[in-house]
A and B are shown apart, each in its own frame.
Chain A
Amino acid sequence: MPELRILVVDDSAATRQMLTSAVEELAAERGREARVDTADSGLTALRALPSGPYDLILTDINMPEVHGLELIRFVRQHPLQKDAPILVVSTQAAERDRQKALSLGATGYVTKPVTLAALREALTPLWPAAAPGGAP
């Protein structure tokens, strides 16, 4: 089975690290290998995108320069990426931003601090337990 390609975008190294281990674990639960790329800002993410397509993008909202909302909009415009599920991982403080993220096309929203359980729950609809479509 092909590995899952995942992009984690957050300006905190600790959060990136944590999210990476979490998605690796969740992929393993489904018997899948995960290959995770990380980006420390929205800008870095823009550069990573052409090496996709990604099966999942996790992004923070509050980042300097290009922030999460802008990244979501960009991904949705991107010919290669426009169907990638995007999970926003950010604070609850910004209720309005969350609304916007969803209306811009984010697939889901997880509130920080993140737990493995919350991530699993959010990913369930995105990653059917059965072999993903197209697999032999």
Chain B
Amino acid sequence: MTEKEFRAEAAELVEALANGVSALDTGLRGGRVAPALINDVFRAAHSLKGIGGLIGLPALGHLAHAMEDALDAMRLGKVTPTTGVLSVLDEAVELFQKLVEANPQEAARLEDRVNEVSRRVGAIKTGVEPAAAVVARTPKDLDLAPEFFSVLTEYEEHRLTDNVAQGVPIYLVHAPLALDAFDVGLGKLTEALKSRGEIITTLPSSEKAPGVIAFDLLFAGQVAVAELGDAVRALDPAFTASIVGTRPRNSVQAPEPAPARPAAVEEETLVPAHSAATPRTETVRVDIEKLDRLMNVVGEIALVRTGLGRIADLLRVDGGHTQPVIELQKLARSLERKIDELQGGIMEVRMVPLTQTFERLQRIVKKTARELAKEVEFVVHGEETELDKLLMEQLVDPLVPLVRNAVDHGVESADARQRAGKPAAGRVTISAQPRGNHVLISVEDDGAGLDEVAIRKAALEKLLVTEERVGTLTGRELWNLIFLPGFSTRREATDVSGRGVGMDVVKTNIARLSGMIEIDSVAGRGTRFSLTVPITLAIIQSLIVRVRGRTLAMPLGGVSEILAYDGQLLRTVEAREVFQTRKGTVPLLRLGDVFGYPGTDVANGYVILVGVGLNRVGIVVDELVGRQDIVIKPMGRLLKGLRGIAGATDLGERSTVLVLDVGGLVEEALGVNAAA
């Protein structure tokens, strides 16, 4: 290698260092600095140090050394990166950039500056005292072979401790591979694992069989063991993944320190004799499927309870207030309370915060912005809001197109923004708010808003609406066209958009979750998509109604009010029935007509108001049977794809009824029915 080549490598390293430091900065502003990132920067500094001496630039080596120490302290968690720390690192990066290009005379002139900056960089590692890390759980609790601990570097140990302390599950992935071609297999495995969490170490060991090398990867990730197992087996049937359990502790260790008491008394009276030998673990991991089964059983118990209540009511009507009947009613009520508690308890176990999902979206926003060369700021609110784990997984799919579209279609180019008097950087905001049994999630951009002219044009071209109809479409009706499959205002498909599948995916997915989606858009100001989803999929509170002799279940989530039907309040506007309420008129939807049930609705029925804001619709029913918690069952082949139906449920007494898809019905009433 010639000196020129060394210089080239040094310049490359300086560049890597610069990128790394700027990524740290972004991470810091985003509230989280990925440990792997610090390690990368550390490694760049480390290599740079080695080269300094080789290219006759000891000053460069000197500065790199200080930098390496500082980053080492950071990656080991001894120093927390702050904006102050990063500004010092920035200065160093700038100096590196000058140094790699300097000739010996220029380098000599920079020496004072190098010394000064090196001193300040060097102070980073001493400036901040080690964060008083009170680690509740340590890797020593892990049931790992001692040989693992003997090969972990200090950094890896730190990463392990950190993950364990945060309660991240630790897995051992075993991968036997052919010695002459292990790169490919290991590469794939590494990639698959990295997308799910953090690889702490990759330990090779010679297998008994010749020509085979085995790798044991220690992996930290918030995934279920079954999922991880499937993922690695999909790569190679010989791969296995097992969770690293915790070693039972041998002493009594309460999770929280007990209040101080006189020691003598405590020893004699409070510690049972056998307790010293009783192992205690503080957490268990449960397969979500098991919780699902439990939840279903609870749902079924709830049905039994409803049946009991009904019998008690009947007895009471028939036989009056006899003591046993009153007793039975009381028991049924207290059973109901206990079932509620049980459901609440199981639900709580399943809840996880949105944090990880939002982080993922943030990466997607960044990536999309990079692809499109736009500057976009991502703002997150309410990431601590909790949702059912299973639902969370299904929520990601519809959120991805929303954030991508916000960056692509929403946020304008920097030029256009400046002309419009907006800051050059666009802003995409995602926020979550708990609303009782539902969560409201909104994705908002401060871009150009929906382009109504382009939407009209695209709709006409694709024959989604007729020429005469297109003129009469207003605001929301027009906006709703973007949900149609294949609808796009882009002429040409790019990597990011133009195929018109995004919003279609959003809508079908949200409907599947019994959720609702609403658009708000102001030209030149931006667009907001508001999603309302239930916090769990398992149990849905619903209203049991009767329409023209049929029984149906309507999830209560979308219901805002129930009014008595009154023919006097009925109007007909443009051939549509509307109903007068205190808050204005709403379009009426007759379920009997939607599903083609023969007969007419009774005159003394009810109007159930569903939807929010301008998206309200009144659904006409004959009779309200009652409220009931239902477990939605997947639909049989026959019913699949039936508009306005979300599934079926078992109401007990062997009667199965259909569950309405309120979101779909609202759309049916308000939206445009693709009229060609």
Binding site for B on A (CB under 8 A): 11-15, 17-18, 42-43, 46-47, 50, 61-62, 64-67, 69-74, 77-79, 91, 93-94, 96-97, 100, 103-104, 112-113
Per the bound structure, the CA–CA distance linking A61 and B201 in Å amounts to 13
With known contacts A46-B213, A67-B153, A69-B153, A77–B206 Cβ distance under 8 A? yes
A residues within 8 A CB of B1? 13-14, 17
For A64, A66, A93, the residue with the greatest tally of chain B CB atoms inside 10 Å of its CB is A93
B residues within 8 A CB of A77? 205-206
B residues within 8 A CB of A72? 151
A residues within 8 A CB of B204? 42, 46, 66, 70-71, 74
CB pair A104 B153 closer than 8 Å: no
Q: Quick check: is B6 within 8 A (CB to CB) of the other chain?
A: yes
The 29 listed contacts between A and B (C-beta, < 8 Å) are A14-B10, A15-B50, A15-B51, A42-B204, A46-B204, A46-B213, A50-B179, A61-B153, A62-B43, A62-B46, A66-B203, A67-B153, A70-B202, A70-B204, A72-B151, A73-B147, A73-B203, A74-B204, A74-B205, A78-B206, A91-B46, A94-B72, A94-B153, A94-B154, A97-B153, A100-B150, A100-B152, A112-B49, A113-B53
CB pair B179 A14 closer than 8 Å: no
Per the bound structure, the CA–CA distance linking A100 and B660 in Å amounts to 64
Per the bound structure, the CA–CA distance linking A70 and B201 in Å amounts to 9
A64 to chain B, nearest CB (A): 8
Per the bound structure, the CA–CA distance linking A93 and B74 in Å amounts to 13
For A73, A96, A113, the residue with the greatest tally of chain B CB atoms inside 10 Å of its CB is A113
Residue of B nearest to A90 (CB): B46
With an 8 Å Cβ cutoff, the count of chain B residues facing the other chain is 38
A103 to chain B, nearest CB (A): 7
B residues within 8 A CB of A46? 182, 204, 213
By secondary structure, the A interface counts as: helix
Q: Quick check: is B161 within 8 A (CB to CB) of the other chain?
A: no
Per the bound structure, the CA–CA distance linking A103 and B152 in Å amounts to 12
A residues within 8 A CB of B46? 62, 91
CB pair B150 A43 closer than 8 Å: no
CB pair A74 B206 closer than 8 Å: yes
CB pair A65 B43 closer than 8 Å: no
CB pair A12 B50 closer than 8 Å: yes
CB pair B202 A103 closer than 8 Å: no
Question: Which residues of B306-321 have CB atoms within 8 Å of chain A's CB atoms?
Answer: none
Question: Which residues of B118-152 have CB atoms within 8 Å of chain A's CB atoms?
Answer: 147, 150-152
Per the bound structure, the CA–CA distance linking A72 and B204 in Å amounts to 10
Q: Quick check: is B622 within 8 A (CB to CB) of the other chain?
A: no
B residues within 8 A CB of A11? 43, 47
CB pair A70 B154 closer than 8 Å: no
